[in-house]
Amino acid sequence: MVKKYQAPATSKGIGIGKAYFYNKFTPQIERITIPESNIESEISKFYEVKKDAISEINRITEMIGSIDLNDASIFRAQIEIINDPVIGKQIIDEIKTQKVVLSYAIYAAYEVVINILENVDSPIIKERISDMLDVRDRLLRNYEGIPEYNLSHIDKEVVVVSRDILPSNLALINKKYIKGIITENGTNQSHLAILTKNYGIPAFLGIGKLIENINFEDDIIVDGVDNEIIINPTNDILNEYLQKKEKYDQEQIKLQEYLHLPSYTKDGIKIDVCLNINSSNKEELKYFEYVDGIGLYRTEYLYSTKLPTVLEQVAYYKKILTLFNKKEVTIRTADIGADKKISYLDVKQEINPALGNRGIRLGFSNEKLLKDQVKALLMANEYNNLNVMFPMVSSYEEVIKIKKIIDDCEKELIKDKIPFNKFKVGIMIEVPSVAIMIESIIEEIDFASIGTNDLTQYLLAVDRIDENMDAYYQRATPSLFRLINNCVSVFEKHNKPLSLCGEIGADEDISKILIGLGLTKISVSGNFVPIIKKNVVESNYKDLKEFADEILKLRSETEIINKIKTKKQL
Ligand code: PEP
Ligand code: MG
């Protein structure tokens, strides 16, 4: 029976596919003993399970080979673990001596190795543990004969339905087949939401209990234009939506006409439209020729499955820096923590992760990780087009500490006779204290970028990923515009570049206010470049400034939204 539900879409577009329930496999282990006569067959089962697991990995490697990053090498490392003769022998010995079923033998053998590794104080070893756990569960799942529910494994058009999805899981998938994403938990400003917008995947994150109306293999239409989820549509409804989708896709193609235009307002003010990226993935860079540079490269996704080495990082960064060559590229050091946790890093469980060991704080507490990245960035800056910015900076002292670390890295590279080029040093303005103190900090930095996703979270003291608090997350809070306005005047006075890379920069209406406030560089994910360019070329800066001045006088988000609506009707 057809069912329709209204819910706010967190990423626009229309998608159609079968419901695909994404759940992580959790092994259920029981110590079952076997008779002596079954030992040989249990051992042969081990070889079969091993073979199945290896073919599974080979299939995935082939499929994601085109996606980028060093995903393929992650899986190659897993094959090495599966073939490890010591663990293999341990499993067989366990079956022989303890007379236990294969599943228990696998579990026990991996437990021994993992216990040993857990006591070694090294992030590289810790990373190995997460690979081991993955391999162990892969073997156990194959033993159970359960297919892999893994996002990188999908090879037909689906709408993924899940309680939650980690941003790092989505970063690794083949987006071609993901026609929509529906989750029980999540918000419009979570990192998962940002990724779905980047990839142009229609999404409904945080729909709560509505999710219980969806069943395995249901046909689903996600209509992120009119905020509707349709389950098991009739043929007539399906046809109607196919046409609607066609119309929407055509409109998006039409918008691409603006890509080619230089981004000047009608009265001649240049607004740099730059790209936010999370990887050097082709999809994310599809409009690279039409932008003025990279405004935000979120490097934390490079760390999704393992710690990248310095040389691997140099290769990643060089790829982007070479592609942009004469245009500026702003790379942000890893903003790990909060909803971008990394399992292999030994970070204490926190009660308030958004206020915890995140961004630069994690860099300070894990200095080798930060220094390796800084060195890789220095080494990669071949074309002198690199700006590096640091996330979650909250005080003047931290800026000084960062500069000292950069200085130390440069000295170490000189000592090791490794060539490098200095980069421009900037910070994210995403903690209110820094925005307030910017007049005192500006002398120490070359540039800054306003991260409104977090700035709003911290200004309003509202967790950006908690769907129950979403009503308090006011994207158009007047406090934000006033703070941005102050920052703009300080940067203008000191004649230093200031940009904005939060999601509101991609909002058709709010971006006009931001330009009116004097921001001349806005960075958005690829899919929003056409609409922002359209905004720029069809506006007069003078009008936008007048409008922004009116906005600055308003007292509430409601007044601001109403003002935007009235303006639209004019
Ligand atoms: C921001 O906070 O606005 C930002 C761009 O960073 P992120 O969304 O990665 O936290
Ligand atoms: Mg941020």
Among the listed residues 291, 363, 359, 358, the one whose alpha carbon sits nearest the alpha carbon of residue 323: 291
Our answer on whether the CB atom of 335 is closer than 6 Å to any ligand 1 atom is yes
So what's the pLDDT on residue 116?
Answer: 85
274, 409, 487, 501: the active-site residue = 501
Our answer on whether the CB atom of 337 is closer than 6 Å to any ligand 1 atom is no
Residue of 430, 465, 499, 519 best suited for mutating to test ligand 1, as the one with most atoms within 8 Å of CB: 430
Our answer on whether the CB atom of 454 is closer than 6 Å to any ligand 1 atom is yes
Identify the residue whose tokens are 């005047």. Answer: 489
Beta bridge partners of 426: 389, 447
- pLDDT tens digits, one per residue of 246-293: 999 999 999 999 999 999 999 999 999 999 999 888 889 999 999 999
Query: Given the DSSP bridges, would you call strands 328-332 and 3-6 parallel, antiparallel or unpaired?
Result: unpaired
Q: From the CA of 297, which ligand is nearest?
A: 1
The helix (H) or strand (E) run that includes residue 75 is: helix 71-82
Query: Given the DSSP bridges, would you call strands 14-21 and 219-223 parallel, antiparallel or unpaired?
Result: antiparallel
Rounded-to-integer distance, Cα 313 and Cα 262, Å? 32
Q: 10 in helix, strand or coil?
A: coil
So what's the pLDDT on residue 92?
Answer: 94
Read off the pLDDT band of 373 (50, 70, 90): very high
Lowest mean pLDDT among 182-186, 234-238, 426-430: 182-186
So what's the pLDDT on residue 73?
Answer: 62
Residue of 192, 194, 519 best suited for mutating to test ligand 1, as the one with most atoms within 8 Å of CB: 194
Distance 353 CA to ligand 1 centre (A): 15
153, 191, 260, 409: the active-site residue = 191
- Whether the CB-CB separation of 339 and 167 falls below 8 Å is answered with yes
Our answer on whether the CB atom of 452 is closer than 6 Å to any ligand 1 atom is yes
Q: From the CA of 456, which ligand is nearest?
A: 1
- pLDDT tens digits, one per residue of 68-78: 444 456 667 77
- Taken as a whole, the chain contains a residue count of 570
Distance 359 CA to ligand 2 centre (A): 8
Distances (CA, A) of 549 to 313, 478, 512, 517, 546: 44, 12, 12, 8, 5
Active site residue 191: yes
The answer to whether residue 147 scores a pLDDT higher than 90 is no
Rounded-to-integer distance, Cα 373 and Cα 381, Å? 12
Read off the pLDDT band of 119 (50, 70, 90): confident
Our answer on whether the CB atom of 451 is closer than 6 Å to any ligand 1 atom is yes
Average pLDDT over residues 466-485: 95
Q: Whose CA is nearest to atom 6 of ligand 1?
A: 451
Residue of 453, 504, 521, 522 best suited for mutating to test ligand 1, as the one with most atoms within 8 Å of CB: 453
Q: Which amino acid is at 347?
A: V
The answer to whether residue 468 scores a pLDDT higher than 70 is yes
Q: Whose CA is nearest to atom 1 of ligand 1?
A: 451
Distance 310 CA to ligand 1 centre (A): 24
Our answer on whether the CB atom of 505 is closer than 6 Å to any ligand 1 atom is no
- Whether the CB-CB separation of 14 and 224 falls below 8 Å is answered with yes
- How many angstroms from the chain centroid is the CA of residue 427? 19
The helix (H) or strand (E) run that includes residue 219 is: strand 219-223
Q: Whose CA is nearest to atom 4 of ligand 1?
A: 451
So what's the pLDDT on residue 168?
Answer: 66
Our answer on whether the CB atom of 298 is closer than 6 Å to any ligand 1 atom is yes
Closest atom of ligand 1 to CA, residue 454? 2
Q: From the CA of 278, which ligand is nearest?
A: 1
* pTM as predicted: 0.81
The answer to whether residue 397 scores a pLDDT higher than 60 is yes
Higher pLDDT: 151 or 408? It is: 408
Among the listed residues 474, 557, 549, the one whose alpha carbon sits nearest the alpha carbon of residue 513: 549
Lowest mean pLDDT among 18-32, 86-100, 140-154: 140-154
- pLDDT tens digits, one per residue of 533-545: 999 999 999 999 9
Closest atom of ligand 1 to CA, residue 191? 8
Q: Please, what is the average pLDDT of the chain?
A: 91
Q: From the CA of 187, which ligand is nearest?
A: 1
Read off the pLDDT band of 64 (50, 70, 90): low
b/e map 188-224, b = 16+ CB within 10 Å: bbbbbbbbbbbbbbbbbbbbeebbeebeeebbbbbbb
- pLDDT tens digits, one per residue of 315-369: 999 999 999 999 999 999 999 998 888 877 877 888 999 999 999 999 999 999 9
DSSP assignment string, 24-37 = ---------B--GG
Q: 172 in helix, strand or coil?
A: coil
Rounded-to-integer distance, Cα 336 and Cα 363, Å? 9
Distance 98 CA to ligand 1 centre (A): 53
Distance 325 CA to ligand 1 centre (A): 25
Q: Whose CA is nearest to atom 3 of ligand 1?
A: 451
Lowest mean pLDDT among 173-177, 184-188, 259-263, 370-374: 173-177
Rounded to 5 degrees, what are φ and ψ at 281?
-60, 140
The answer to whether residue 569 scores a pLDDT higher than 80 is no
Rounded-to-integer distance, Cα 185 and Cα 334, Å? 25
Q: From the CA of 276, which ligand is nearest?
A: 1
Rounded to 5 degrees, what are φ and ψ at 211?
-60, -25
The answer to whether residue 388 scores a pLDDT higher than 90 is yes
So what's the pLDDT on residue 294?
Answer: 98
- pLDDT tens digits, one per residue of 511-528: 999 999 999 999 999 999
Average pLDDT over residues 109-126: 79
Measured torsion, CA atoms of residues 178, 180, 184, 188, in degrees rounded to the nearest 10: 110
The helix (H) or strand (E) run that includes residue 103 is: helix 102-118
Lowest mean pLDDT among 15-29, 405-419, 499-513: 15-29
So what's the pLDDT on residue 69?
Answer: 47
Higher pLDDT: 215 or 153? It is: 215
So what's the pLDDT on residue 67?
Answer: 46
Residue of 274, 300, 301, 454 best suited for mutating to test ligand 1, as the one with most atoms within 8 Å of CB: 454
Distance 462 CA to ligand 2 centre (A): 14
So what's the pLDDT on residue 304?
Answer: 80
Share of the chain above pLDDT 90, in %: 73
Average pLDDT over residues 110-115: 88
Closest atom of ligand 1 to CA, residue 391? 6
